Structure 1
Amino acid sequence: MPHPNDPKLRSFISVDPTSDFPIQNLPYGVFSARGLAPRVGVAIGDYVLDLWELEQDGRFAFGEIGVFSQSSLNPFMALGPKAWSKTRARISELLRHDHPELRDNEELRKRALAPMREARLHLPLAVSGYTDFYSSREHATNVGVMFRGKDNALQPNWLHMPIGYNGRASTVVVSGTKVKRPRGQLKPPNADAPSFGACKRLDFELEMGVVVGQASTMGEMLTEQQAEEMIFGFVILNDWSARDIQQWEYVPLGPFQAKAFATSISPWIVTREALEPFRLHGPQQDPQPLPYLRQAQPNNYDMELDVSLRAPSMNAAQSICRTNFKYMYWSSVQQLVHHASSGCAMNVGDLLGSGTISGPEKHQRGSLLEISWNGTEPVALDGGIKRSFLEDGDSLVMRGWCQGDGYRVGFGEVEGTILPAE
């Protein structure tokens, strides 16, 4: 049987070459349609394949029945990497243009294929815990130059370990969820005392999210291979950030309320296996990391990323950032290895944010803080509109994809619109 990543594979469902969801992708999500309860599906072209309908019809063989009838992917992820790979291969077989099992079964096709336009997409996983990292050297350097000067841009520990903080799983939301402008303590540099009010410097952060699909044991470390096998897949992640709240609160313990109000993710989880053809080595790490963080294989990905902003008076969104996931200094595998290195137990459904993804060029900066250089160089949008930070009514869309030969493995999008603070 052909491998699911074979670029020559075709589905009996027509898929445009520019679609994010060819047969080589098969990302998982949770959807509802036709008045039925949320369940697990896979994106294929302009359709959602209902895996619960196929499971009921006896098209899968699991030790546990009903994993696809659930409102999250956690029960399926808990089955482990061998089950993930076997299931993806089976879905690929069912969707192949030369395989008659689903193609020629009109009744099953009608039950199992829902038009994407009629489907409501839900948060695809029950988020057990959320950790956000700070792993782009370009982003960390830009921010450091702004606030500490060029000679002290990177803190002494940054080149020795992935820096991160524990965020809030309770406010991870799916694409399309509107985000209220946060409130908090504010203290501008010229103020004698703090005040409480609505954030005035609201920002986005372009990130990828790692979905952990297997648990680790408290007190035990992970090897590179173990960490890789624990990764189920990836989502696009927008870590909304209140820069003025953050500036006052982050010393000495780091971000807190400035990051806790919302984190948006795309509804489709692209599996690690689907991204395999696009793996490459990341930037050279100098100094060499300590032995537990050293990598024997390429753990970065050649993944194009785009951010578009639409102000309320604009007819269409305008791209303000175009970068690539390959620039990340610390890989997702290294982040997971480091996270568990103290003995921290990882759970099925944990979400790890990569940290803002910036590249070496100005148009590759993954936050408004960098793009507008802390508000001193506002972004010029169509119609004479300018933005230093996000305003009420602004809508932000992030997209990501890996480009193959005649096909692309994409994530769809993560969108969020800013509502006024109460």
Structure 2
Amino acid sequence: MTRRLFGTLCGFVLLVNFGRTAFAPLVEPLQAAFGVGPAAIGLVTSLVWFGTAVPRIPVGYLLTRVSRHRVVLGTGVLLTAAAAFTATATTLLALQLGAFTIGIASGAYFVAAVPLVGELYPDAVGRAVGIHGTASQIAAVVAAPVVVTLLAAGDWRHVFWLLAACTALITLVLVLVVRRRGTVPSSAGEDRNFREALSHWRVIVTGIAIVGVAGFAWQGLFNFYVPYLTASKAFTQTQASTMLTVVFAAGVPAFWLSGRLADRLPHLPYVLGIVAAFGVSLVALTAVSGFVPVLVVTATLGYVIHSLFPALDTYMLGALPASARGSAYAVYSGVALFIESGGSGAVGFLTGAAIPFDSVFRLFALAVGVELVVLLMLYAAGRLPDGGRSADVAAD
């Protein structure tokens, strides 16, 4: 039964992340369809990610009242309705509202589902989170080819009708799966005190500190990857787009392997090692030139940054007790995502002030380095919370 629920969640997350990433390859078709410029559609894509951040803390509180699997089912209903609404949009405002709601559904899903995945395999949390993340990352890789194929067969609305139909189907499958007795672990319903979640503020702050600066830099980098390579590396648009695909494709094996390593290695040293590797890769990207060197660094960078997410999730889920895991994770991810989302705006502001891309990304690498030194000092002093798996989970 556990395998059926886990498999269903992996299919679910693929559709959830597809809903977020499908807008990027639709920028030009949507501009043509609604007769607007890139700024207007750029706002649409921003609303998806803003919507992803908005519900996380409120849903964290909701999880103290409603079981995690029921919240996941609710996100399926919401995503189905949002995708269908987006497919019927005839005005820019309706499109923006649809995109924002798709983002809300995805943000709520991750807050409820990631702790649930950890409960399903308490002795292999990293492996489970890694596989779940791999399914999500596959969506980011296939989004553009799927969208292009559907555009060739019709128009942009087909993308969201397909998403609505598939999400409705997977939600129905999830209903059937969770109705079977013994499918949902008993510990998945123990999170009932939001104040207790906040009492684990040291774990929450540690997670935010680890991912905040690195995630801020990553958001700014990947959203400007194509213009960065065309402006600073003399790449063609096609070459730059290929590199963007590579940086996301490298995340597929990263999620798969990193989760397994997180189960075997000491959590904090492994996570901090990844942060260090990301800083070095970012500096290397600004130093190399030529297609092959940039390709190698791009693949390395993509692998490293995507390795951070399952490793950090494993640390967080291991450091938090079942009685506060869902809501505390929601607070952590909500605050962290708000911080990370500022990366793109920072890159846009700095480059708009005539600061070269390479200088901006070296500044980001320096910030990552400073963050790493502080975290290493705190770790050496024993001031960072341990990420060992909680005894209450291991006993389930």
TM-score, structure 2 length as denominator?
A: 0.25
**More strand, by proportion:** 1
Higher RCO, 1 or 2 (CA under 8 Å, sep at least 6)?
2
Higher Rg of the two aligned structures: 1
Structure with more helix by fraction: 2
